[in-house]
A and B are shown apart, each in its own frame.
Chain A
Amino acid sequence: MADAEEPEKKRRRIEDLTEKMAVDGGHRDCDWDGRWNHVRKFLERPGPFTHPDFEPGAESLQFLLETCKILVIGAGGLGCELLKNLALSGFGVIHVVDMDVIDVSNLNRQFLFRPKDVGRPKAEVAADFINSRIPGCKVVPHFKKIQDLGESFYKQFHIIVCGLDSIIARRWMNGMLISLLSYEDGVLDSSSIIPLIDGGVEGFKGNARVIVPGMTACIDCTLELYPPQINFPMCTIASMPRLPEHCIEYARILQWPKEKPFGDTGLDGDNPQHIQWVFERSQERAAEFNITGVTYRLTQGVVKRIIPAVASTNAVIAAACATEAFKIATSSYIPLNNYLVFNDVDGLYTYTFEAERKENCSACSQVPQDLQFPPSAKLQEVLEYLTESASLQMKSPAITTTLEGKNKTLYLQSVKSIEERTRPNLCKTLKELGLSDGQELAVADVTTPQTVLFKLNFTA
């Protein structure tokens, strides 16, 4: 027993073993003695709670440091935390995508940025910081929209972690990974699966989830968990304001386009002069109706749809996400199955549950979606269904079909000339458009990289 050994012998034995630990794995030129001690205990030692597939050894750390390729989407509140967490957990090759540049209001939580970095691309500054602070870690930045990158880019990663602030972007990413899945004779090829870890935060609330495309619930399976954003009714804004918010929306939606105070430019929420103008108009309107509460801060919040944010919630959720990335990359523990909710308004509350797959999920179920309409229904009704249904929540769907062997666009909003040409179709009935029972419609939308197939089911 070690304790009974002479102190000198014991000291030498410890030295030998420490050296052995330092030499085995993780000893790149940039690594110093003991660097990965904290991580190694989870990779080199067997344990009673590890994943059934886990095999202790030096290879896992090697894999993390040199082979594993992980992608972080977003270099903002969650992204900065994720990059740090992954780098300090041993991940050696990390790519990061973010289309934004740094703003002053980011600095209260996006700790890889400094006042002098304002205006620079987030992905690039974040990468520079991590690369310089964590020797041996290589972060590769991509100052791009996720939609600007394609299959061949995303395919190269073992794991993708999202720290996005938009549901549309999440759904797109979700759709992209689903589109990468390959099936052979109806059986999912597991090597085509890229696990997606998704984190979201809002004030003191957050969630982290693990998605295994094709196997577990995807973003769209649980779309109802993200209720659609409610905008104020136009009649309230136009003629019956009651809240300061209504006054602000009046200035933004009605007065700005009419008065064009700065010429033909759109309202830029980041332009203090624009916000000041909206603020003053809102105050005037509020005074007219004896409404109190219009402040500059509220004005900016409404115009930019600002979501409050603090460092702490971002830290918690990114930590949970990175823990999962580590578990998955190393098979060291069974990953979260599959959804964690966090809230620290009153004490600290977490809730962990398994979100279920939706049988007819528009993103991952592979079955054509059912569209039930009478032949006398107008195309406009179909469009409204696609945008307003809680399970679809499309933004500006483009509907095409095959008629008489040819591809026909029924309605497309995003290209002006096509929108004008196809707009009359909205008032036509499905029958008038030549559609028949069982007809397949292909719908494209920003919420998905692949078109979604719908099957028309005529009702009485």
Chain B
Amino acid sequence: MAATKASKEQRYDRQLRLWGDHGQEELENAHICVINATATGTEILKNLVLPGIGAFTIVDGHTVTGEDVGNNFFLSSNSIGKNRAQAATELLQELNSDVSGNFVEESPDKLLDNDPEFFHRFSVVIGVQLPESTCLRLGSVLWSASVPFLVCKTYGLIGYMRLVVQEHTVIESHPDNALEDLRLDQPFAEFQNHVKSYDLDSMDKKDHSHTPWIIIIAKYLEKWFSEHNCQLPKNYKEKEAFRQFIREGILKNENGVPEDEENFEEAIKNVNTALNLTKIPGAVEDLFNSEQCNNITSQTPSFWVMLRAVKEFVHNEGNGSLPVRGNVPDMIADSQKFINLQNVYREKALQDAAAVSKHVECLLQSVGKPPESIAEKDIKLFCKNASFLRVVRCRSLAEEYSVDSVNKDEITSCMDNPDSEMVFYLMLRAVDRFYQQHSRYPGVYNYQVEEDISKLKLSVNSLLQEYSLNVNIKDDYIHEFCRYGAAEPHTVSAFLGGSAAQEAIKIISHQFVPFNNTFIYNAMSQTSATLQL
């Protein structure tokens, strides 16, 4: 057992550094369903099996053809004639013995007819190359069961993904460029006391040069406050003056030449960002105002209970601010000064988290749940990430497809731009329409390419008419989509395979932020767009 755990840590080391052991655990407890083991389907699966997804199930009623084997790494020529779900499962399973691979030799339509609840067991369902009718049926079942649904399609040189999830909460969004939470504009008592313990004017050179820039700015801010009616430096002129003010604090040698004090240079460099007002991000305020936050019941997921507790904190102990994050960036300082400063912020963060914990307890009690329902460490993690919380809500497919709720504005405004990828979304919809009418895709055989152009054009026009979309689609796109002949080139499948798998991992791990809600990749121009439809 220990040997397996150690070897798993080694095997997964490079990804554990991204989503941690807890993220990996979520992944290993997940069971994913992929419908249709086409090249796109197996590429998605590869990128889930390799990182160690707990289990996968392939649903596919098709038989493997020569064409299938040609673009699919997980089918071989001796699987021609066999069921595609079974054939692909064998070669995918072989990638990672930690993963449990399953297959169902059935079309999704049949399953929807006979046993729609089959799909309820999955963490995420990924539908690949599904015709519109199947997509919508499945979408409706999964929406009611609150199972996240990811629709994927490779069509010629176009890749398409649609995420359908009602409400997806993210505590650990891991933002790329987070601002520091230093509270220099509204220093808390413990920090003020700590700053008091420094007397810059009486320090020896060594200490002076190794005082953290945060302390320096705090000190100079105090002086500035007393001379400027307790107002922070606001505009460029004042900030420049403030920087100069700090610069004058640099020690000078016997000849009046300023010494080399890197910590002061750091302070000057950081003036701009350090003086940012501590604010609750708009996105978090929106969450505070949402229904789920204000209506806590015994069914409420812990995310909202914790959010409500943070909201209570903000209105009480927090005096209008979120719990202190507790991190400080590295800076020039001697070890002791740095550690002491870091501890001031860390202890304040712990204090704030404890206050939030009390609110969590109250809330849980008020709905008859035991206080242990939400672990201390989860509350701490939540508080640390309070500024970065994200909630993704995607519209249902029904809403996207309904004439009453179609997002006309998004479609028409994108189509105003000739370079927009929106035209490919409309072409994919048109092609689906063509399939519905003719039970085949346009231009599959060479002789069909020319003839299908006018038929596809009719599908395009009927689509635009049905949704009253006053947009123009150039004939070139219609020709190109006939030319594609529903081909699924491997490299486009592979691009989508990587993209979709990572979105699924985001959903399962609740780390990093999923897209909302339509992603289009154009391999011709190597461009992409995210649309909200």
Contact = CB atoms under 8 A, between A and B. Distances in A.
Interface of A: 1-2, 13-14, 17-18, 21, 32-39, 41-42, 44-49, 81, 84-85, 88-89, 104-105, 107-109, 111, 133-135, 203-204, 208, 240-243, 289-291, 297, 300-301, 306-316, 318-320, 322-324, 326, 333, 336, 340, 343-348, 350, 352
Contact of B489 (A39, A105, A289): A39
B512 interface: yes
B17 A301 contact: yes
Contacts of B298: none
B463 to A, nearest CB: 20
Sorted from nearest, which 3 A-B pairs have the closest CB atoms?
Answer: A315-B498, A34-B66, A319-B494
A308 B77 contact: no
B502 A313 contact: yes
Given A47-B479, A290-B339, A319-B498, A326 B484 contact: no
Contact of B479 (A35, A48, A307, A311): A48
A319 B175 contact: no
A32 B50 contact: no
Contact of B70 (A2, A37, A105, A111): A37
Contact of B494 (A204, A315, A324): A315
B136 interface: no
A308 B17 contact: yes
Nearest to B14: A309
Contacts of A35: 66-67, 69-70
B525 A352 contact: yes
Contacts of B80: 32
Given A345-B513, A348-B530, A38 B71 contact: yes
Given A21-B446, A313-B502, A352-B527, 17 more contacts: A34-B65, A41-B484, A42-B157, A48-B479, A85-B494, A88-B39, A105-B13, A108-B12, A289-B336, A297-B13, A311-B498, A312-B499, A316-B499, A320-B495, A348-B515, A350-B521, A352-B525
Interface string B478-503: 01100111011111101101110111
A41 B485 contact: yes
Interface string B1-39: 000000100111111111000000000000000000001
Contacts of A48: 476, 479-480
A236 to B, nearest CB: 8
B444 to A, nearest CB: 9
17 contacts: A34-B65, A38-B489, A41-B487, A88-B73, A108-B12, A240-B333, A242-B342, A297-B16, A300-B13, A306-B17, A310-B51, A312-B502, A315-B495, A346-B175, A347-B514, A347-B516, A352-B526
Contact of A306 (B14, B43, B449): B14
B515 A347 contact: yes
Contact of A308 (B14, B65, B336): B14
B50 A311 contact: yes
A111 B524 contact: no
B190 interface: no
A320 B50 contact: no
Interface residues of B, number: 86
B523 interface: yes
Given A48-B479, A291-B339, A323-B526, A34 B67 contact: yes
Contacts of A312: 47, 498-499, 501-502, 505
B297 interface: no
Nearest to B390: A346
Contacts of B71: 38-39, 88
A336 B491 CA distance: 15
Contacts of B491: 85, 89, 319-320, 322-323, 326
Given A17-B447, A291-B335, A348-B515, A49 B480 contact: yes
Contact of A240 (B50, B52, B335, B501): B335
A107 B46 CA distance: 12
B67 A308 contact: no
Contacts, number: 238
B451 interface: yes
Contact of B530 (A107, A108, A316, A347): A347
Contacts of B14: 105, 108-109, 306-310
Contacts of B489: 38-39, 42, 89
B99 to A, nearest CB: 12
Given A44-B446, A204-B512, A309-B15, A81 B494 contact: yes
A306 B10 CA distance: 13
B126 to A, nearest CB: 13
A231 to B, nearest CB: 13
A9 to B, nearest CB: 13
A409 B449 CA distance: 68
A342 B515 CA distance: 14
B524 A333 contact: yes
Contact of A347 (B448, B485, B494, B513): B513
A310 B15 contact: yes
B206 to A, nearest CB: 11
| Residue in A39, A48, A243 whose Cβ sees the most chain B Cβ within 10 Å | A48
Contacts of A89: 489-491
Nearest to B159: A319
Nearest to B493: A319
A346 B67 contact: no
B451 A2 contact: yes
Contacts of B513: 345-347
| Residue in B70, B334, B502 whose Cβ sees the most chain A Cβ within 10 Å | B70
A348 B51 CA distance: 20
A350 B526 contact: yes
| Residue in B333, B335, B448, B521 whose Cβ sees the most chain A Cβ within 10 Å | B335
A41 B69 CA distance: 16
B260 to A, nearest CB: 12
Nearest to A301: B17
Given A297-B16, A311-B51, A312-B499, A47 B445 contact: no
Contacts of A297: 13, 16-17
Contacts of A49: 476, 480, 524
A243 to B, nearest CB: 6
B519 interface: yes
| Residue in A18, A45, A348, A350 whose Cβ sees the most chain B Cβ within 10 Å | A348
Contacts of A111: 46, 50, 95
Contacts of B499: 312, 316, 344, 348
B176 A346 contact: yes
B313 to A, nearest CB: 25
B495 A104 contact: no
B153 interface: no
A25 to B, nearest CB: 13
Nearest to B80: A32
Contacts of A336: 525-526
B345 interface: no
B254 interface: no
Interface string B149-172: 000000011000000000000000
A315 B499 CA distance: 8
B174 A345 contact: yes
